[in-house]
């Protein structure tokens, strides 16, 4: 059952964890997009706030848990969505459509369920962000390290730090698998919808430099009622770490696969950019 609210404008913000989606959501909120009434707050790893709609977050977490999965899946989602979850998703969309003429959400796990949401929402638009896989892996590992350092129990803390250092490369390969799974899901969705006019796809660094062009497209082509603001208002280059001091010794097959996915993302980004004159 599709949600046929012809006058509603819905923007889905998509991207892997630690890829700049929180910054993008903060920017969209500053431009006037309603992103939810109950948002996940700030944390030491995201001091400006996550801007994640808790209803969508809880839905994705429960759907993954139903299938014995967590956020750090290592392959694209293949399982079907039970009717109970599908009905919950439909109700969630219907309630938002009834409350707001234009709205959107950001929740990284959305990347794994793009086909579900696209089936349920008519005329949804997608602003998709991706980030260099080494930067994402580095960010996830640093977040994990900081979480361990904040533990109050001295013995537990140093035992966890020992385990962290011992399994560092193994964890790096794990997070690379997660990056591949999320971004493969994105690539598959973009490939299937490449001829449509409903997707914008950008590398996170290009997003900043093209922010005025992007907001113009949202307003002039997609007809969102937003304030024209660049990202300069909330972000300066350097706020996101763009290089890491650690040299990862990734598994060679994983490294090749991640590079292949990156090449596809870059190519689709260029195709979409040329089509709408944002290069």
Q: Cα(254)–Cα(68) distance, rounded to whole angstroms?
A: 24
What pLDDT does 38 receive? Answer: 79
Extract the residue ranges of the chain whose pLDDT is less than 70.
Answer: 1-6, 40-50, 145-167, 236-245
**Closest-CA residue to 79 (of 117, 122, 116, 30):** 116
Give the global pTM. Answer: 0.89
pLDDT at residue 169 in the model: 86
Torsion of CA 92, 68, 109, 62, to 10 degrees: 20
Q: Is 161 exposed, middle or buried (0-12, 13-18, 19+ CB in 10 A)?
A: middle
Which pLDDT score, from 0 to 100, does residue 1 have? 43
Nearest to 230 by CA among 242, 218, 248: 218
Domains of the chain: 9-275 (3.40.50)
Are 204 and 20 within 8 A, CB to CB? yes
- DSSP states of 29-69: HHTT-B--SSEE--BTTBTT---EEHHHHHHHHHHHHHTT-
């Amino acid at each position: 059952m599709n949600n046929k609210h012809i006058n509603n404008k819905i923007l889905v913000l998509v991207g892997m964890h630690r890829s700049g989606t929180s910054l993008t959501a903060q920017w969209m909120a500053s431009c006037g997009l309603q992103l939810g009434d109950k948002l996940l707050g700030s944390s030491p790893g995201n001091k400006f706030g996550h801007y994640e709609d808790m209803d969508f977050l809880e839905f994705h977490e429960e759907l993954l848990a139903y299938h014995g999965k967590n956020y750090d899946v290592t392959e694209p989602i293949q399982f079907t969505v039970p009717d109970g979850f599908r009905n919950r998703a439909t109700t969630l969309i219907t309630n938002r459509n009834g409350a707001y003429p234009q709205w959107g959400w950001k929740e990284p796990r959305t990347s794994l369920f793009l086909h579900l949401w696209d089936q349920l929402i008519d005329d949804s638009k997608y602003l998709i962000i991706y980030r260099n896989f080494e930067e994402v892996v580095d960010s996830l590992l640093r977040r994990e390290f900081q979480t361990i350092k904040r533990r109050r129990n001295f013995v537990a803390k140093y035992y966890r730090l020992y385990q962290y250092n011992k399994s560092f490369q193994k964890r790096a390969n794990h997070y690379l698998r997660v990056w591949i799974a999320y971004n493969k899901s994105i690539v598959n969705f973009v490939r299937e919808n490449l001829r449509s006019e409903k997707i914008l796809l950008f590398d996170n660094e290009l997003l900043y430099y093209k922010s005025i062009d992007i907001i113009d497209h949202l307003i002039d082509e997609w007809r969102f009622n937003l304030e024209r603001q660049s990202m300069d208002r909330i972000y300066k280059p350097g706020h996101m770490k763009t290089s890491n001091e650690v040299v990862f010794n990734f598994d060679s097959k994983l490294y090749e696969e991640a590079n292949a996915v990156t090449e596809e993302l870059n190519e689709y980004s260029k195709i979409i950019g040329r089509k709408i004159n944002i290069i």
